[in-house]
Amino acid sequence: MEEGPLWVSEAAGLVSARREMAQWSKSFPDCGGVHQSPIDVETSAVHHDPSLMPVNVVDYHQPGHDPFILSNNGHTVKMSLPAWFQLGGLPWRFTAVQLHFHWGREWDGSGGLAGGSEHTVDGRRSAAELHVVHYNSDLYPNVSVAQSQRDGLVVLGVLIETGDDNNSAYENIFKYLEFIKYAGQQMPIPSFNVRSLLPTDLGRYFRYNGSLTTPPCYQSVLWTVFAEKVTVTRKQLKNLETVLFSNDGKDPKSVPLQDNYRTTQPLNHRVVLASFVPDSITSYTLGKLCAVVVGSLCGLMGLAMVIILLVKAMSSTSSWEALAAVRPAPSRRSKEHDKEQKQDTAFNTDPDPEKPEAPPKVEA
């Protein structure tokens, strides 16, 4: 998620940018925290929470008459959103601020398409990713204050793949990229139905507590990553990957704005909730049950054979003495029992959430 200062220098390529990412924690301590984003969503390990309702986007389909502001800040392409765009169904009101993209490059070193999404699912990276940023407007006056608070932000993540049909919703943005090629450029564009950028199904998603994916990496984000992906054509994706530059245009050596995604971070025992039951959970459970049943049957048959052989071999010993020789010792039962504690599915998906870190002081 892009919300902090820029991390790609004007002369930085992919290798130097990755090295710079590794050094973030030296200047921004939160970047070395244990609740960082993005993550790899391992579908076989998520926790299904049937209480999670479909995401309620309020007034996304009513953009108003004022234009949106599209800008290139040197790290991503960002579009402003009106304050009446909100999220419902959460403990507080969350107001939209902006949306932006993360992407890779047209070709990787082996001649194939290189993905650029930040979140991955079962280790697979998508072609690109859209983030829609909201802040807690009930508790905080603006996003700058909210971003350093544990309950400050909610971000919707949309994974993007390539397909055959032109995506007219995304074309509302992509067709203007050539006018903001260089860092610092911006322009007004006609407003449009932002709901059309999201997946059709808003009821299937993954949710977890994480962070901004750029410095200062505040661990203040409730992430919602939709399971359904949206598609754009390869031509549309190529436009996003090749038109923009990370420098301001004064440097004769223009630096393409590509690979602006952060690699996945360790989960560190966080709980990832799912509003639905992924297929991998179903297949894993059935397979495990079959293994348990088969193993139990084999164990019972083996025990029966041992008892029969012992009885025959020890004919001079009474049956009670023989059974005593193979009877397992009684197990000790624990006097204490764990008590389950229901987790807050909105802002406490972690089994042992860490104490919020105090935001660093920012000098004017």
What are the residue numbers of the active site?
75
Tokens of 168: 């007219």
Instruction: Identify the burial level of 7 via C-beta atoms within 10 angstroms of its C-beta, where 0-12 means exposed, 13-18 middle and 19 or more buried.
Output: buried
> 317-353 as b/e, with b when 16 or more CB fall inside 10 Å?
eeeeebeeeeeeeeeeeeeeeeeeeebeebbbbbeeb
From the number of C-beta atoms within 10 Å of its C-beta (0-12, 13-18, 19+), residue 31 rates as buried
Q: At what angle do helices 319-326 and 279-313 cross, to 10 degrees?
A: 140
Give the strand pairing for 221-226 and 153-162.
parallel
Listed residue (189, 169, 171) closest to 179, CA to CA: 189
Residue 31, helix vs strand vs coil: helix
